[in-house]
Amino acid sequence: MRFAYLDCEDAAKWAGHEVIGQALLHPGAHWRHYRCFNRELPPLDSLAQLDGVLISGSHYSAYEEHQWIRELEVWLRQAVPAHPQVRFLAICFGAQVMAQALGGRVGKNPDGGFVLKVESVQLSDALRSSTAMQLASSDIAATGSGGSNGGTSGGNSSSSGGGPGSVRIIQSHGDQVLQLPPSCVLLAHSPTAPVEMFSNAAGNLLAVQGHVELSREETLEKIWPAITASGRLSQEESEESRRSVAEDPLDAPLLVCMFRRFMERGLPEAATAAAANDGKSGRSSSTALAMDGQEA
């Protein structure tokens, strides 16, 4: 399989695209590294030869006025709908700039704070029942490599069947998607991010606010000290953040498997969910699902 990795982080201390690629892309995949901050992007006509594109996180905000961010937005706005056979996986900043590119809205966390902890993410029925999630659950069951508590959150399932009802992942963000793009589908929400995961009607996009690629060790060694030193967490919040990242159970292996399965086949179930929600009270799927996520 062939992928493009769109690297949006230029700070040396956050370097490590090889680790991210190894964590989220299929083992043995061939991928090319593009430094978006240096205004490097794949030619649009080269996407026909790719299976997927991974857009990374960043310490920048998607709404900052940097030329490379605006160019990335334009590129995504053109690439995603024009190449439905290519899967786009967008993480944190990547998810936010994707939302902006497709017509959504991004801003600071509504409470003005910074989120750095493990959170339980509630999955939609469309995501839980997707083939990508079912295959990922089977992968985990076959290898026995569940969450850090010895398994996934599979006991938290609902009557509709499929994968777990919730998963626990590391969150690290001061910004978030505040409004879904038109025709996009909400796939998950969390206590601090009503738009935690989303897809598009074509099912070739998976955008995720949280970080399954981050280990506890990397978070505590790099991110926690920097955020604490910046004063973005109170002393009490800092202590709770450290405890949460160090001790709370994680389900990252399940989501890593699901992301890899998505990169193989996409999320065709998103189209069904979009069509179903378009019929709700005459509202668009993006509006209805954004409201549902905020009320959850």
Q: Show the domains of the chain with their CATH numbers.
A: 2-295 (3.40.50.880)
Q: List the beta strands (DSSP E) in the chain.
A: 2-7, 30-35, 52-55, 87-91, 105-108, 115-123, 166-173, 175-179, 184-190, 193-200, 205-208
Hey, what amino acid is at 114?
F
**Structure token pair of residue 92:** 């944190």
3-state secondary structure of 210: coil
* pLDDT of res. 278: 65
Q: Tell me, what DSSP letter sits at residue 291? A: H
3-state secondary structure of 31: strand
CA nearest to 272, candidates 103, 138, 129: 129
* pLDDT of res. 163: 77
Quick count: other Cβ atoms within 10 Å of Cβ 150? 8
3-state secondary structure of 239: helix
3-state secondary structure of 281: coil
CA distances in angstroms from 87 to 75, 262, 286, listed in the order given: 15, 7, 20
Hey, what amino acid is at 50?
L
* pLDDT of res. 144: 73
225 in Cβ contact with 116 (< 8 Å): no
176: Cβ contacts below 8 Å, ≥ 6 apart: 96, 106, 107, 108, 109, 192, 193, 195, 209
Quick count: other Cβ atoms within 10 Å of Cβ 284? 16
209 in Cβ contact with 256 (< 8 Å): no
156 in Cβ contact with 75 (< 8 Å): no
**Structure token pair of residue 284:** 């668009």
The structure's pTM equals 0.87
DSSP for 56-123 reads: ---SS-TTS--HHHHHHHHHHHHHHHH-TTSEEEEETHHHHHHHHHTT-EEEE-TTS--EEEEEEEEE
pLDDT < 70: residue spans in the chain: 13-26, 145-162, 275, 277-296
* pLDDT of res. 143: 81
| CA gap 103, 183 in Å, rounded | 10
Strand-strand pairing, 87-91 and 205-208 = parallel
